Amino acid sequence: MSTATLVPVFAALGDETRWSILAALGEGDASASALAERLPVTRQAIAKHLAVLAEVGVVEPVRVGREVRYRVLGSELSATAARLDAVGREWERRLAAIKEIAEGL
């Protein structure tokens, strides 16, 4: 995956409310309505957040009868982390190389 698709994931993860939703989902799959009972925001707001999270693949909708439960995809977070780590290491490598050139080694 390219960094172009990486940025929206970070944008999605850059919101406290979404993390509280993810934290709640960490205790088991839940629907927007169920989450709304535990969080201080309305169901519609949560539904929007879930849509954002689903869009970037951090969360996955699962139909159960008439309700739609959401599941956290921790593997996606780890995959994103792996890409970020690669970027960080690459930058370290390049700057180290530049530093060496600057020092005339």
Partner DNA sequence: ATCACCTGCAACTCGATAGTTGCATAGCAT
Partner DNA sequence: ATGCTATGCAACTATCGAGTTGCAGGTGAT
When binding is defined by CB under 8 A, the residue of 1, 15, 67, 100 that contacts a copy of itself is 15
3-class DSSP state of 60: strand
Q: Which does 66 bind (CB under 5 to 8 A by kind): DNA, a copy of itself, none?
A: DNA
When binding is defined by CB under 7 A, the residue of 22, 24, 52, 72 that contacts DNA is 52
Among 18, 4, 6, 28, smallest CA distance to 82 is for 6
Specify whether the CB–CB gap between 58 and 13 falls below 8 A: yes
Helix, strand and coil percent figures for the chain, each rounded to 5: 65, 15, 20
When binding is defined by CB under 8 A, the residue of 2, 26, 64, 104 that contacts a copy of itself is 26
Count of CB atoms within 10 A of residue 67's CB?
12
Binding to a copy of itself (CB under 8 A) within 30-89 occurs at: 71-72, 74-85, 87-89
Number of chain positions touching DNA (CB under 7 A): 22
Work out whether 1 is an interface residue with a copy of itself (CB under 8 A): no
